[in-house]
Amino acid sequence: MNVTSGIWEKLTRIVQFLIALIAILGVFVWYLPLIKENEKIRTEVIKLEDEIEAERLNEKNLNREIEALNSNPETVETLAREVLGLAKQGETIIKFKESD
């Protein structure tokens, strides 16, 4: 009788272990889609944070340009000459066209 109860005790422990293992695997499988969704969202957040940083840098550069245009008349003159093709009175503008 002593041998029989030892086998049942071992079998009970094995079954309890297997039930616990199945429960843990069940919880993992249950939460796996949430884990994947969380990973996808984190990737998107990192991407958006990089975009925000790039836009902040762009904003900084634009603010510098605005400040230069507001405070330095030479900057305005240079921009008018380069972009608009304007010249002072008495100046002649010569433009070279590239050949095909």
- Per-residue model confidence as pLDDT tens digits over 50-86: 999 999 999 999 999 999 989 988 888 888 888 887 8
Counting beta carbons within 10 angstroms of the beta carbon of residue 55, is it exposed (0 to 12), middle (13 to 18) or buried (19 or more)? Answer: exposed
CA separation for the pair 86, 95 (Å, rounded): 12
Strands of the chain (E only): list them. Answer: none
Token pair 């009788």: residue: 1
Q: Residue ranges of the domains in the chain?
A: 24-84
To the nearest whole number, what is the mean pLDDT of the chain? Answer: 89
Global pTM value: 0.55
- Are 93 and 85 contacting, i.e. CB atoms less than 8 angstroms apart? yes
CA separation for the pair 80, 86 (Å, rounded): 6
